[in-house]
Structure 1
Amino acid sequence: MNRTWFAFLPNLISLGRLILVPVSVDMIASRRWTEALIIFVVAGASDAVDGWVARRFDLRSELGAYLDAIADKALLICDYVALAIVGQLPMALALLVVSRDVMIIGAVILAWLLDRPMKIKPLWISKANTFGQIGLVAAVLAALAFNWPLGLWATAGQWAVAALTLASLAAYFRRWVTHMSA
């Protein structure tokens, strides 16, 4: 395949998802739940599409891997914080989600500064954590959009996400300590 503008398509999709982040936060802040849900679903679909296009047409790139991860994390972190600020999720959960990512990024930067760079590979617990985080935001936004009660299921989901987030952080911390001790 001729690598013209099409070669940058997965990156453009990731950039589009990144542009949706402030729009998503604005919809949550404005309590426009249906629009917030639609944006979240579109962002999720764009994540699947950019990955498929990159794999299918062999358009994977280092830039694309970073853009994809940044767009995903920005959307999740911002939506957790926004939902906490408007009182739909506990602030402690939002802080836990944010803190996990900040600690992982900090550890990677510290390893790099100490001339011990690490290759980051997602762990199965990290994938489960991401799935749980996405699922909780989607479920809360859907409940708010369709006027469903946030009951026991939401509390159970919050505890599950908290547990997965802590487990993921512990697994990455263990990997980091092992790497730095070698």
Structure 2
Amino acid sequence: MNIPNMLTIFRLLLIPVFLVVFFSNVPNYLLYSIVVFLVAGATDVLDGYIARKYDMVTKWGIVLDPLADKLMLLTVLFSLSYKGIIPYSIFIIVCSKEVLMIISGIFLYKKDTVIPSNFFGKASTVLFYVSILTVAFNKNIGKILLDIAVISAIIALINYAIIYLKNQKNNN
């Protein structure tokens, strides 16, 4: 187990921490829980940097890292929806997209095919982090940014499908 993979596991462990903080009666629970979310985001950036810089990329990490990201994002969006801070439609659309990505990822993993994250996926992730942070300070602007993030996530999904189809065409 290398450092990037340990950071990914740490990020997975932050999911229940987020939930405990978010659903607590602590004043400023939203701000504190978003700090947990941002720490998770920082570990995502850090583990990716370390893995690439020090050639510690593993097949396991390529699969587990985005899974940790998806689970954290879905947890945050569900929690925000549950408390009525954002519309459920955002959670439902993103959840549908992420479940499709997870199922596709498992299918491709079994075929020894891995499509690594690219600009569109990373841009979508950054937009979600910025929009969720903004929700803590200005719900109206945060919701607009979340709508943009959802659109970017759909574009990323389409982009991954195009990459897969091109790979299939080149392999045939």
TM-score for both structures, normalised by structure 2: 0.80
* 2:139 partner SS: coil
> Which residue in the other structure is 1:146 paired with?
none
Task: Determine if the alignment matches structure 1 residue 130 to structure 2 residue 125.
Answer: yes
1: CA distance between counterparts of 2:42 and 2:77?
19
Task: Determine if the alignment matches structure 1 residue 77 to structure 2 residue 74.
Answer: yes
Pairwise CA distance, 1:64 = 2.6
> Which residue in the other structure is 2:20 paired with?
26
Question: Does the 8 A contact of 1:111 with 1:180 survive in 2?
Answer: no
Which stretches in structure 2 are left out of the alignment for 5+ residues? none
> Which residue in the other structure is 1:120 paired with?
115
Question: Does the 8 A contact of 1:132 with 1:161 survive in 2?
Answer: yes
1: CA distance between counterparts of 2:118 and 2:52?
20
Question: Does the 8 A contact of 1:96 with 1:165 survive in 2?
Answer: no
Task: Determine if the alignment matches structure 1 residue 12 to structure 2 residue 37.
Answer: no
1: CA distance between counterparts of 2:167 and 2:130?
32
> Which residue in the other structure is 2:143 paired with?
155
Which stretches in structure 1 are left out of the alignment for 5+ residues? 1-6, 144-148
Pairwise CA distance, 1:56 = 4.0
> Which residue in the other structure is 1:3 paired with?
none
Pairwise CA distance, 1:83 = 0.8
| Percentage of matched positions with identical amino acids | 25
1: CA distance between counterparts of 2:51 and 2:106?
27
Question: Does the 8 A contact of 1:11 with 1:50 survive in 2?
Answer: yes
1: CA distance between counterparts of 2:52 and 2:108?
30
Rg (Cα) greater in structure: 1
2: CA distance between counterparts of 1:112 and 1:19?
24
Question: Matched residue pairs, number?
Answer: 167
Task: Determine if the alignment matches structure 1 residue 173 to structure 2 residue 161.
Answer: yes
- Decide which of 33, 36, 45 is 1:48's aligned counterpart: 45
